[in-house]
Structure 1
Amino acid sequence: MPGHFEPLPGGGAAVALDDVEISIIRSLAVQLLELIGPGPAPDAPADPLAELFAEGPSEPPADPVLRRLFPDAYSDPGRAPDTAEEAEERQAHSAEFRRYTENDLRAGKRENALAVIRALDALAAAGEGGAVLKLSPAESRQWLGALNDLRLAIGSRLEITDEDDTDLLYRLPDEDPRKPMVMAYLWLGGLQETLVSTLLS
């Protein structure tokens, strides 16, 4: 089980993590939370209808990691607009979509990252020297979302855009300052892959 998720009887997944692994994942999840930003203020009115119609930002984020986590809905990276009018129309549709969806997307990503932190804190409090993390099916899906977001964030910082970039990262020399981030990216990818397999089994 070390380094990969395995299915639990009755659903869910389990993985053995040592103290260093727990610390790395937790630190990355905290950084992701800081990047996504805080949720609603504690004194915000609890009006579900107002919350439903609350508008989010209409402009794409300036940070490339956030642009990767919250991409434009109407952009096609593989195809440039035929005309200036088409480009303008795409931009208007993307802004409208972002305005009504980004707050919910941020809330979901924030909840997933918090679920990871809570699970790891509970695991660390239970014993020393690492332990076996056991997740329910719902927690497993939250972890899957958080692992995906962490890999997108690290991949963006490493400027990974396709599979060829990943192949080049495997060959980085040990003295390259990106090496620790690359190792985290690849390790999280392995965790994500085995969690997907576990949930599909």
Structure 2
Amino acid sequence: MPGQFEAIPGGGAAVALDEVEISIIRSLAVQLLELIGPGPGEDASDDPLAELFAEGPSEPPTDPVLQRLLPDAYGGPGSEEGSADADELRAYSAEFRRFTENDLRAKKRDDALVVIRCLDSMTAAGDGGAVLKLSAEESRHWLGALNDLRLAIGARLDVIDEEDTDLLYQLPDEDPRKPMVMAYLWLGGLQETLVGTLIV
């Protein structure tokens, strides 16, 4: 079980994590929360219907990581700037974002909070590490958060496709990006084994 999730009875998953791994995942989840931003403030409406129809931003974020986490719904690579089609797609994306971004941010915030709470509630084993046991629902939150963490790190590393990932393996140890690359690859392994437990 070290370094990989395994299915457990009842539809959950378990993984052994040492104190350093716990600290890394928790720190990354906290940074993700800070990037996504806080939820509704004190001035939020108590009316659930008003909350349902609350409008979000219509412009895409400027931060490249947030652009990766909250992409435009329409357009993307291949859309020619300045063309009538591109302008139309941009308008569709703005409208879609206005009604979906708040919910998407809330989902990502919830996923990261579940990760932090699970790590905070772990009981340490005698060897300085612990076994994290997740319910099926917690596993789905973890999967979302691991995906978001990899997308965020991948954006910082300019990972666009498989070729970029292959180049990461070739970085020399003295490259300042190496720790981020190691986290990216490690989280990918965790994500892959967690997916495996969900389809068993």
Please tell me the TM-score bracket, short chain as reference: over 0.9
Could you tell me which runs of 5 or more consecutive residues in structure 2 were left unpaired when the two chains were aligned.
Answer: none
Distance 1:189 1:159 in 2: 16
Structure 1 residue aligned with 2:188: 189
**SS of residue paired to 2:121:** helix
Distance 2:171 2:48 in 1: 50
Structure 1 residue aligned with 2:71: 71
1:28 and 2:42 matched: no
Structure 2 residue aligned with 1:46: 46
Distance 2:42 2:147 in 1: 28
Distance 1:82 1:32 in 2: 31
Q: Give matches, 1:27-176, under 5 Å.
A: 27-77=27-77, 79-81=78-80, 84-123=83-122, 126-127=123-124, 129-176=128-175
**Identity score, percent:** 76
Structure 2 residue aligned with 1:3: 3
Displacement of 1:156 in angstroms is: 0.1
Displacement of 1:54 in angstroms is: 0.5
Displacement of 1:10 in angstroms is: 1.7
**SS of residue paired to 1:133:** strand
**SS of residue paired to 2:15:** strand
Distance 1:8 1:163 in 2: 32
Could you tell me which runs of 5 or more consecutive residues in structure 1 were left unpaired when the two chains were aligned.
Answer: none
RMSD over aligned Cα atoms: 1.2
Distance 2:169 2:28 in 1: 21
Displacement of 1:87 in angstroms is: 1.1
- TM-score, L = length of structure 2: 0.96
Change (3 A) 1:87 1:148: same
Displacement of 1:47 in angstroms is: 1.1
Distance 2:103 2:67 in 1: 16
Distance 2:140 2:66 in 1: 21
